[in-house]
Structure 1
């Protein structure tokens, strides 16, 4: 899989971008603030329908504009797809594939597969559980798009149930009669999400362990993944090893329902749902200790990198070659980690790399170099993309299918 063409309109600092791309590695080089990260952020948005840098869509729209458009020609095996996302802060986003509108934007998930590694990914090791839950759920949606609907439905039920619990607390329990209906929905959807997360952790763990050994060296302590849940059956953070028997969706739903009943009084007292996948955590371990709080800065960087390389390997193992995006990371890595990452990037069907200084990028990835400066994207090496401020013919063809 690779992007053959990328267009942006009023996205971040870009009024307009019209950029042809090729398989292999492309390096976007430019000073900080020039907009190179915004280019790869747009690619990531096509894959996840959100940004790795901000929580909402409003910052993605250029100042003074009412909407932004991200449009790409995507090559998948022997097929080419035209994908377009119209970002409308405060209103529903619109998505088209081959100029046909999709009923729901989330139906785009799974069509564009990419793995992005950026300095912000250090939060996967050192940050709050919410960051790791988001990491798991984004990967789930990429591998199995229908689970995005399960997650969305679970979040909706959670909001409704929390609202009812707050009402019950204020009304001294008079609203509890309808709570059982929401308990059933929470248990069913939560059990599905728990089962999917556990299977994902089991599938991802060996890839992360191999990637960490590659990045940190064979003498480093081993990396492992576990799952810590408010539902004891779903895990206590102990590493999930190959061959571990995992509970089923129905078993997890029953266990979640039991925990909800057991903590009913506490939930009413606090006015919130205290049990479920929304309160769980992915536990990243190094040797016999959890990485958070024990791993050094260098070990944390290696683990964050291993998590993303593990995702890349897992998606490959599923039979799809994802786009690898490396956003300003080579300058932060030592020689060993840089070489390990360059080896993976060099094997990708398409790798998009950003850097402030070209010398930070390993020489084997500099086949196509594009300068980002002064609101322009200009090729510096043979075989690079067209000047992105021009009106290339292929760019005009893509614009014909633009937002109305």
Structure 2
């Protein structure tokens, strides 16, 4: 899988640009705050349907304009695609793939697969559980539309349940039949989510362990840590456990158990990485997990995803940079950097200099 071109109109600080990429390494460089990351963000949006950093689509529209328009030409082993997206100030979004309207996010995510790697991802091991859940969800959602649908339905039901819990605590209630209705829906969707997450973690553990061993010779182990202690992973066992927690959740006015509290348990040489791992070990593990994320997508789809590396080379030492450069050499990658000397260049590398929202193609 690779991208051949990206066109931007009124997107962030870009008025009108078209970029034609190499199917291999593309270096997007320039000073800070010039718009390098905006290019990666535009590609990412076509994969995930939303920005990895903006809270709303309004932030993506160039200041003073009413809309933003993006288009992307990409290809896999079977066919060619043209994706078009228009973002409106009123919040409306129009997306088409090969001139066919896309109305559901789960449909969009099945086309273009990407892996975004930014400096924040180096905190994957020692950061919050929500970062690790996002890592799981962004991987699985790209490949399994039903997973994303279950995830959306689960969080809708969770929102309703939390609203009800606040009302019940204010009333001094001890239980409620409607709470059982929401628990039943959460159990049904939770069963599906747990199955997908369990399968993902088994594979990502194998891929990550092999990569970590290649980089440092250390033993990395990643295991799934469910956000509840139900007697089983089936919906009846999950429902029973949720019901047992009704009283406590009413008292606290929020859901205390469920897949929204899932996490990953990560160890290095048998010790918990988050607590006992050095910064170097934690960064190596995060790097292993992100490379493994690309391997996971390739394992399922037989296509490597597009790699989006946002100023990551400056955060890695020479050994990790060399390893990452070797792993990505035959794949399409878009790399942003302020220093091109940190990036290995080949005959297939394209260089793009960014200055004040303008893109200049430079000779390698």
Assess same fold via TM > 0.5. yes
Is 2:224 aligned against 1:227?
Answer: yes
Task: Spell out, residue by residue over 1:139-173, the C-alpha distance to the aligned partner (whole angstroms, 9 max, x if none).
Answer: 11012122111110001000111111111111222
C-alpha displacement at 1:55, in angstroms? 4.0
Partners of 1:132 and 1:267 in 2: CA distance: 24
Task: Spell out, residue by residue over 1:103-136, the C-alpha distance to the aligned partner (whole angstroms, 9 max, x if none).
Answer: 2233201210011211111231121111111111
Distance change >3 Å, CA 267–CA 374, structure 1 → 2: closer
Distance change >3 Å, CA 312–CA 355, structure 1 → 2: same
Is 2:108 aligned against 1:69?
Answer: no
With 171-180 and 121-130 compared, the bigger mean Cα shift is at 171-180
Q: Which residue in 1 is equivalent to 2:314?
A: 331
Give the conservation status (yes or no) of the 8 Å contact 2:162–2:254.
Answer: yes
Partners of 1:98 and 1:48 in 2: CA distance: 17
Task: Spell out, residue by residue over 1:159-196, the C-alpha distance to the aligned partner (whole angstroms, 9 max, x if none).
Answer: 11111111111122287122221111010001111111
C-alpha displacement at 1:88, in angstroms? 4.0
Q: Which residue in 1 is equivalent to 2:84?
A: 84
Q: 1:275 aligns with which of 250, 253, 257?
A: 257
Distance change >3 Å, CA 280–CA 132, structure 1 → 2: same
C-alpha displacement at 1:90, in angstroms? 5.8
Partners of 1:19 and 1:261 in 2: CA distance: 55
C-alpha displacement at 1:374, in angstroms? 3.2
Give the conservation status (yes or no) of the 8 Å contact 2:8–2:17.
Answer: yes
Task: Spell out, residue by residue over 1:215-270, the C-alpha distance to the aligned partner (whole angstroms, 9 max, x if none).
Answer: 3x22xx31111122232259xxxxxxxxxxxx7xxx43222212111111001111
Is 2:263 aligned against 1:297?
Answer: no
Is 2:243 aligned against 1:261?
Answer: yes
Distance change >3 Å, CA 353–CA 121, structure 1 → 2: same
Partners of 2:306 and 2:68 in 1: CA distance: 22
Give the conservation status (yes or no) of the 8 Å contact 1:26–1:365.
Answer: no
Mapping for residues 316-327 of structure 1, pairs under 5 Å: 316-318=298-300, 319-327=302-310
Partners of 2:113 and 2:82 in 1: CA distance: 14
Give the secondary structure class of the aligned counterpart of 2:125: helix
Number of residues of Structure 1 aligned to a counterpart in Structure 2: 363
Give the secondary structure class of the aligned counterpart of 1:313: helix
Q: Which residue in 1 is equivalent to 2:8?
A: 8
Q: Which residue in 1 is equivalent to 2:352?
A: 370
Structure 1: gaps spanning 5 or more residues: 235-246, 383-404
Partners of 2:135 and 2:57 in 1: CA distance: 18
Distance change >3 Å, CA 252–CA 61, structure 1 → 2: farther
C-alpha displacement at 1:210, in angstroms? 1.4
Distance change >3 Å, CA 68–CA 224, structure 1 → 2: farther
Q: Which residue in 2 is equivalent to 1:342?
A: 325
